[in-house]
């Protein structure tokens, strides 16, 4: 690494990045750092008060035997005859391996090498319900040291290393050694704007690139070009919005239709703007789902209406007009029987096509105060009995709801299924995020490492879009950033979870020409408040 970082005059709010392959083990790695200043003195970053916090989980696969521990199916090196129940990794369009869908969670745990927060040092990210993102997550260089008091970064051989003087120091965020063709890895960063909505960019720059001398096999390789660091062109990379934060790129449910019940709060506290915004958000979500696949279905359930605990007002259908009419009729009248709404919606999901993935999206501005306990209802409808028809539940809240109250009935109760905002007018953005989870996550960059570094090193970097359902392309046909002030680009909502996935892989047809090559680079987030800014970036 160089003695001074210079990141294009921009605030680096979360950074990562050195990557390399060498026969001696230069490794693949990233360095994370956080600052609200633009000065970097003596290779040290000045920490300050930030409105952005970061957490992460990182994976690495080298096809070792321990990756198959407790799997029910063998990992396949070529596509199975029927891929409907298999997930291609790291990139489904050109996978190196195939993992059965039932084994995916176990495989990801087996390949997880470090995380933040990880209080028990098992390399797997903790259940985030016990943390407050804006109080507990990383925002200073000290957070990267797993030895400090109350450290939340994994402490293991991957997070501590010896420097050139023999001192034990915190390792780069990704610190892999002796990477071979066919190896791949993934890092999902979650960022949280804690104060105000903001525009966010992903930026960075190349720090160093070297061949470190030629080994004998590399000198004889016909692909070897003297003076060229081939690793920059051999490593393939991908960036995407990892909407559910599961570290896996999911462009869609393998063509599987989805069947959704919108479970809407009709209680009295939903009157006025909350009622209007909930209708707008629900209508846009329904349109996205029905437009994505002719076999998709959407229904509508009210809870808290006119002394009725809950009722299905529109059974699941592909008729967008019928769904819109049901949503537009949402009243604002009585209590908040969330559990009853969940049970009523589940009964209607029995009408979904047999091959559909079934989902409830519960929207509320309060906490349960009537009828069936929502946690018990959620456990019941997502069980394994023949009359349990719900595969997952998204919990969306505003007003008097809290993240902890939403976690009572989100299933699974993780970051990817809990959505809260204090402002009702931000419900549209939250439900747009859910629509991308359901209809497919959006890849916004794919190319070589050299192309990635050129994109993030251009001016402000790659402008990220707070609403992926809008018609905005982060990069152009040349893989360079588009203008940030495009009217279709939207801000990120504060106090929400946002996930950016970075995957890398070394194709199996690259070997000798990359030996001894090393590359270092930095990536970071830059943010500006939405208010009084156009998204073009301040000069």
For residue 256, name the pLDDT band (cuts at 50, 70, 90). Answer: confident
What is the 3-class SS of 235-294, one letter each residue?
A: CEEEEEECCCCCCCCCCCCCCCCEEEEEEEECEHHHCCHHHHHHHHHHHHHHHHHHHHCC
Confidence band of 521 (pLDDT split at 50, 70, 90)? low
Higher pLDDT, 445 or 140: 445
Q: Over 465-517, what HEC string results?
A: CCCCCCCCCCECCCCCECCCCCCCCCCECCCCCEEEEEEEECCCCCCHHHCCC
pLDDT digits (tens, 9 = 90+) for 309-361: 899 999 999 999 999 999 999 998 888 999 999 999 999 999 999 989 999 99
Q: Which residue has the higher pLDDT, 391 or 211?
A: 391
**Cα–Cα dist 32/144, whole Å:** 7
Contact in structure between 418 and 395 (CB atoms under 8 Å): yes
Question: Does the pLDDT of residue 22 top 70, yes or no?
Answer: no
CB 338 within 8 A of CB 301: no
CB 501 within 8 A of CB 241: yes
Ramachandran angles phi, psi of 219, nearest 5°: -65, -30
Beta-sheet pairing, 418-420 with 392-397: parallel
Mean pLDDT of all residues in 297-309: 88
Measured from the Cβ of residue 362, the count of other Cβ atoms closer than 10 Å reads 26
Residues linked to residue 264 through DSSP beta bridges, in sequence order: 302, 363
Give the residue among 407, 287, 420, 265 at the shortest CA–CA distance from 345. Answer: 265
Query: At 349, which helix (H) or strand (E)?
Result: helix 338-349
Give the DSSP H/E element, type plus range, for residue 342. Answer: helix 338-349
What is the 8-class DSSP label of residue 82?
-
Sign of CA dihedral 60, 62, 63, 64: negative
Q: Which two tokens stand for residue 495?
A: 């106090």
Average pLDDT on 148-161 reads: 92
On whether the CB atoms of residues 400 and 367 are closer than 8 A, the answer is yes
C-alpha torsion angle, residues 117, 204, 527, 135 (rounded to 10): 20
Locate tokens 């809990």: which residue?
418
Cβ–Cβ under 8 Å, residues 360 and 345: yes
- Compute the chain's Rg from CA coordinates: 24
The alpha-helical segments, DSSP class H, found in 395-529 are 403-407, 427-439, 449-456
Strand partners, 241: 500
H or E element in which residue 203 lies: strand 198-210
Structural contact between residues 34 and 56, judged by C-beta atoms closer than 8 angstroms: no
Domain boundaries, the chain: 15-251+441-529, 258-436
Q: Give the separation between CA 157 and CA 331, rounded to whole angstroms.
A: 57
Residue 201 has a CB neighbour count (10 Å cut-off) of 25
List all residues 6 or more positions away from 324 whose beta carbon is below 8 Å from its beta carbon: 283, 286
pLDDT at 415: 78
Buried b (16+ CB within 10 A) or exposed e, 136-148: bbbbebebbebee
Per the prediction, the chain carries an average pLDDT of 82
How far from each other are the two terminal CA atoms of the chain, in whole angstroms? 28
What pLDDT band is residue 48 in, cutting at 50, 70 and 90?
very low
φ, ψ for residue 64, nearest 5 deg: -75, 160
Q: Answer yes or no: are the C-beta atoms of 190 and 497 closer than 8 Å.
A: yes
Using 50, 70 and 90 to split pLDDT, how confident is the model at 405?
very high
Assess whether the previous peptide bond of 228 is cis (omega < 30° from 0).
no
Q: Measured between alpha carbons, how far is 342 from 310 in angstroms, rounded to an integer?
A: 9
- What is the per-residue pLDDT for 79? 92
**Cα–Cα distance list, 506 to 178, 230, 234, 357, 511 (Å):** 12, 12, 7, 34, 9
pLDDT band at 520 (very low <50, low <70, confident <90, very high): low
Question: Residue 30 in contact with residue 20, Cβ under 8 Å?
Answer: no
Q: How far apart are CA 129 and CA 537, in angstroms?
A: 34
Cα–Cα dist 161/159, whole Å:
7
pLDDT at 452: 93
Domain 258-436: give its CATH superfamily.
von Willebrand factor, type A domain (3.40.50.410)
**Greatest extent of the chain over all pairs of C-alpha atoms, in Å:** 81
Give the residue, 224 or 266, on which the prediction is more confident.
266
Q: Are 267 and 335 in contact (CB under 8 A)?
A: yes
């Amino acid at each position: 690494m160089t003695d001074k970082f210079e990141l294009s005059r921009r605030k680096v709010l979360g950074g990562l990045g050195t990557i390399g392959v060498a026969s001696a083990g230069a490794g693949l790695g990233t360095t994370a750092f956080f600052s609200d200043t633009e000065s970097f003195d003596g290779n040290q970053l000045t920490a300050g008060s930030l409105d952005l916090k970061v957490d992460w989980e990182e994976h690495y696969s080298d096809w070792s035997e321990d990756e198959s521990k407790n799997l029910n199916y063998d990992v396949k090196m070529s596509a199975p005859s029927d891929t409907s129940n298999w997930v291609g990794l790291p990139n489904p369009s050109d996978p190196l391996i195939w993992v059965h869908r039932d084994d995916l969670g176990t495989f990801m745990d087996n390949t997880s090498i470090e995380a933040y927060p990880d209080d028990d040092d098992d390399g797997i990210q903790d259940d985030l319900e016990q943390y407050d993102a804006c109080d507990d997550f990383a925002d200073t260089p000290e957070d990267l040291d797993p030895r400090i008091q109350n450290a939340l970064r994994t402490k293991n051989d991957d997070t501590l290393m010896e420097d050139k003087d023999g001192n034990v120091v915190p390792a780069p965020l990704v610190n892999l050694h002796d990477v071979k063709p066919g190896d791949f890895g993934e890092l999902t960063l979650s960022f949280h704007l804690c104060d105000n909505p903001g525009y966010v960019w992903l930026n960075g720059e190349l720090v160093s690139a070297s061949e470190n001398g030629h080994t004998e096999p590399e000198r004889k390789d016909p692909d070897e070009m003297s003076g060229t660091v081939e690793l920059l062109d051999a490593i393939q990379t991908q960036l995407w919005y990892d909407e559910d934060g599961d570290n896996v790129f999911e462009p869609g449910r393998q063509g599987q239709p989805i069947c959704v019940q919108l479970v809407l709060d009709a209680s009295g506290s939903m009157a006025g703007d909350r009622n209007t915004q909930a209708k707008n958000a629900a209508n846009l979500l329904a349109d996205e789902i029905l437009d994505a696949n002719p076999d998709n279905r959407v229904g509508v359930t009210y809870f808290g209406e006119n002394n009725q605990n809950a009722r299905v007002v529109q059974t699941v259908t592909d008729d967008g007009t019928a769904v819109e009419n049901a949503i537009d009729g949402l009243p604002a009248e009585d209590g908040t029987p969330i559990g009853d709404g969940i049970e009523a919606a589940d009964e209607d999901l029995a009408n979904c096509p047999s091959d559909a993935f079934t989902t409830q999206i519960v929207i509320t501005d309060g906490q349960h105060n009537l009828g069936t306990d929502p946690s018990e209802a959620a456990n019941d409808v997502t069980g394994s009995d023949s009359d349990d028809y719900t595969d997952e539940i998204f919990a969306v809240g505003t007003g008097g709801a809290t993240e902890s109250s939403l976690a009572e009935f989100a299933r699974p109760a993780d970051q990817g299924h809990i959505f809260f905002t204090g402002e009702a007018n931000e419900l549209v953005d939250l439900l747009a995020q859910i629509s991308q989870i359901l209809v497919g996550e959006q890849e916004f960059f794919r190319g070589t490492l050299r192309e990635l570094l050129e994109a993030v090193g251009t001016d402000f970097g790659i402008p990220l879009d707070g609403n992926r359902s809008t018609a905005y392309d982060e990069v152009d046909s040349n893989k360079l950033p588009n203008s940030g002030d495009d009217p279709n680009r939207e801000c990120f909502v504060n106090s929400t979870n946002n996930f950016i996935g970075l995957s890398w892989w070394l194709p199996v047809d690259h070997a000798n020409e990359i030996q001894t090559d090393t590359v270092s680079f930095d990536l970071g987030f830059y943010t500006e408040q939405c208010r009084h800014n156009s998204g073009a970036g301040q000069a």
